[in-house]
Amino acid sequence: MMEKLTKVTGIVAPMDRPNVDTDAIIPKQFLKSIKRSGFGPNLFDEWRYLDHGEPGMDNSKRPLNPDFVLNQPRYQGAKILLARDNFGCGSSREHAPWALEDYGFRVIIAPSFADIFFNNCFKNGLLPIKLDGAIVDRLFQETAATEGYQLTVDLEAQTITTPGGEVIPFEVDAFRKHCLLNGLDDIGLTLQHVDDIKSYEARRRQEAPWLFS
């Protein structure tokens, strides 16, 4: 069962570069795990630590890269990641949203996302929000200007509220919103349509029998 997401208020961390790929979000050596939890300490591993990370290391003893944004004291405990265009491009690895969620992020705001990553987020209680580039630019400026800058994201109302009281509306697909609000897993929902799937198969078997041999 996926964790529900209704309303999130939290510190915003800025990831100010376009085309952040899933290799950067969670490097390949951590994909050898057969579990779906525990990826948080290795989120952005190559940017976050000064040494080379491998599975099984005690991450609390590794040297941190002080220049990396998530290592700065002011962004500790961030729940909202502010990003640039094409966030999550590259590999389909769901380990990327697993790592972001395990680290503590619940919302990612960017002008655009890569399709597969965008889709994977919703399966894991993470809300990716697409906003106009000019608004994202402004949020970057406000985040940089104010230490402890927080946003409130209300999924039910589909709004983001800034500390200044500005309310920014956002779009979200109705089905995905319903699943996130209720922590629903898709498989159970799809299995409510077993009859439809079976009748499709019966019809398709006539039309394209080579797909069933």
Partner 1 sequence: MAGKTLYDKLWDAHVVRCDDDGTCLLYIDRHLVHEVTSPQAFEGLRLAGRQPWRKDTVLATPDHNVPTDDRSKGIADPIARIQVETLDANVREFGLTYFPMGDVRQGIVHVVGPEEGGTLPGMTVVCGDSHTSTHGAFGALAHGIGTSEVEHVLATQCLVQKKSRNMLVSVDGHVGPGVTAKDIVLAIIGEIGTAGGTGYAIEFGGEAIRALSMEGRMTVCNMAIEAGARAGMVAVDETTIEYLYGKPYAPKGDLWDKAVAAWFGLHSDFDAEFDRIVRLDAGKIKPQVTWGTSPEMVVAVDGKVPDPEQEKDAVKATGMRAALKYMGLEANTPITAIPVDVVFIGSCTNARIEDFRAAAAVIKGRKKAANVKQVLVVPGSGLVKQQAEQEGLDRIFRDAGFEWREPGCSMCLAMNADRLQPGERCASTSNRNFEGRQGQGGRTHLVSPAMAAAAAIAGHFVDVREF
Question: Where along the sequence are the contacts to partner 1 (CB under 8 A)?
Answer: 16-19, 21, 23-24, 27-29, 31-36, 46, 52, 55-56, 84-86, 89-94, 97, 112-116, 119-120, 123-124, 173-175, 186-187, 189-191, 193, 196-197, 200-201, 204, 207-211, 213
| Cβ proximity to partner 1, 31 vs 154, nearer residue | 31
| Cβ proximity to partner 1, 27 vs 41, nearer residue | 27
CB of 3 to partner 1, least distance (A): 14
Q: Of 113, 106, 84, which is closest to residue 150 (Cα–Cα)?
A: 106
Hey, what amino acid is at 64? L
Q: How far is CA 6 from the centre of its chain?
A: 15
| Cβ proximity to partner 1, 163 vs 198, nearer residue | 198
CB of 12 to partner 1, least distance (A): 18
Structure-token pair, residue 165: 């009281």
CB of 13 to partner 1, least distance (A): 18
Q: How many CA atoms lie within 13 A of 111 on its CB side?
A: 16
| Cβ proximity to partner 1, 55 vs 148, nearer residue | 55
CB of 137 to partner 1, least distance (A): 9
| Cβ proximity to partner 1, 86 vs 152, nearer residue | 86
CB of 161 to partner 1, least distance (A): 26
CB of 34 to partner 1, least distance (A): 4
| Cβ proximity to partner 1, 77 vs 188, nearer residue | 188
* SS3 assignment, position 81: strand
Structure-token pair, residue 39: 């990826």
CA–CA gap between residue 81 and residue 83 (Å, rounded): 6
C-alpha distances in angstroms, 35 versus 14, 25, 65, 160? 29, 17, 27, 33
Is residue 104 packed enough to be buried (19+ CB in 10 Å), middle (13-18) or exposed (0-12)? middle
CA–CA gap between residue 110 and residue 129 (Å, rounded): 6
